[in-house]
């Protein structure tokens, strides 16, 4: 059955579910929004998915992927993220260009091609946005990262993931030097001003806190290399709600 539409639905449900506590049903409204279709269209499709045993669906609650649905979703996400990485590395496409291409290619690439690409790239763990690439067995590595918006003055960090992949937003981040793996230091974080100020490669960069929520960073104690993972002392005091 896996048609393009079915693949897009299970992928979308899995991506939304990943941001919520396990076992939380994904509402039809959220799915409709993500796929730019009407809630009625989503309801119809969820019935199809439940008949195919890919999801369970309860009216007014939403959808939960079954084991088979989750497995299919991980396959599609694996194809998507490996293709993005492949395009970035072999054709030097930038991180704001790869998503759109991968959206089309993810439905066409065979498992065999994807496994070859995986091996060719040396089994990478993340895509060009820092999103984890599901392994061939469907498992996913955990990524230790927290929003830049929660970091305090004096903290050094490294950009490890960007969760908004709007091309214009990504290009803006590139202009600011906030690219994947870039290291920086927080100069000031004043929620009342709505902005965080950092230095990136010796240059001062101000970013709105809403944007800084979407840039995930790994942290290190001041004066240490951000690759040395320190226990997250900053984590508990950083929760501002």
- Of 20-28, 67-75, 97-105, 202-210, which part binds Zn ion (CB under 5 A)? 97-105
User: Going along 156-230, which residue ranges are E strands?
Assistant: 156-162, 183-190, 195-200, 203-208, 215-220
Per-residue binding letters, 20-59, with Zn ion (x by CB under 5 A):
----------------------------------------
Least spacing, CB of residue 80 vs Zn ion, in Å? 6
User: Per rule CB under 5 A, is residue 85 in the interface with Zn ion?
Assistant: no
Out of 99, 151, 156, 161, which residue is the one contacting Zn ion (CB under 5 A)? Answer: 99
User: Per rule CB under 5 A, is residue 75 in the interface with Zn ion?
Assistant: no
Least spacing, CB of residue 147 vs Zn ion, in Å? 20
User: Going along 28-120, which residue ranges are E strands?
Assistant: 55-58, 62-65
Which residue matches tokens 């939960």? Answer: 64
Q: Cα dist. 133→56, 85, 100, 171 in Å? A: 25, 9, 17, 22
Least spacing, CB of residue 82 vs Zn ion, in Å? 11
Rounded to the nearest 10 degrees, how much is the dihedral formed by the CA atoms of 128, 151, 145, 168?
-30
φ/ψ of residue 184, rounded to 5? -155, 180
User: Per rule CB under 5 A, is residue 78 in the interface with Zn ion?
Assistant: no
List residues near Zn ion by CB under 5 A.
99
């Amino acid at each position: 059955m896996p048609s393009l539409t079915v693949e897009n639905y299970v992928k979308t449900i899995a991506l939304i579910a990943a941001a919520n506590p396990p076992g939380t049903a994904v509402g039809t409204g959220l799915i409709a929004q993500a796929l730019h279709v009407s809630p009625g269209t989503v309801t119809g499709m969820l019935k199809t998915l439940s008949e195919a045993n890919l999801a369970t669906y309860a009216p007014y609650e939403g959808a939960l992927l079954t084991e088979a649905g989750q497995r299919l979703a991980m396959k599609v996400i694996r194809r998507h993220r490996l293709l993005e990485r492949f395009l970035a590395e072999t054709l030097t496409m930038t991180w704001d260009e790869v998503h759109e291409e991968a959206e089309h290619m993810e439905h066409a690439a065979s498992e065999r091609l994807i496994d070859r690409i995986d091996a060719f790239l040396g089994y990478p763990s993340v895509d060009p946005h820092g999103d984890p690439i599901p392994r061939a067995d469907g498992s996913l590595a955990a990524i230790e990262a927290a929003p830049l918006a929660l970091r305090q003055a004096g903290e050094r960090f490294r950009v490890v993931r960007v969760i908004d992949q709007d091309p214009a937003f990504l290009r803006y981040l590139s202009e600011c030097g906030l690219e994947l793996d870039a290291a920086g230091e927080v100069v000031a974080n004043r929620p009342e001003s709505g902005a965080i100020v950092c230095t990136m490669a010796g240059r001062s960069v101000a970013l709105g806190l809403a944007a800084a929520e979407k840039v995930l960073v790994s942290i290190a104690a001041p004066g240490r290399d951000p690759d040395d993972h320190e226990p997250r002392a900053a984590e508990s005091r950083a929760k501002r709600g």
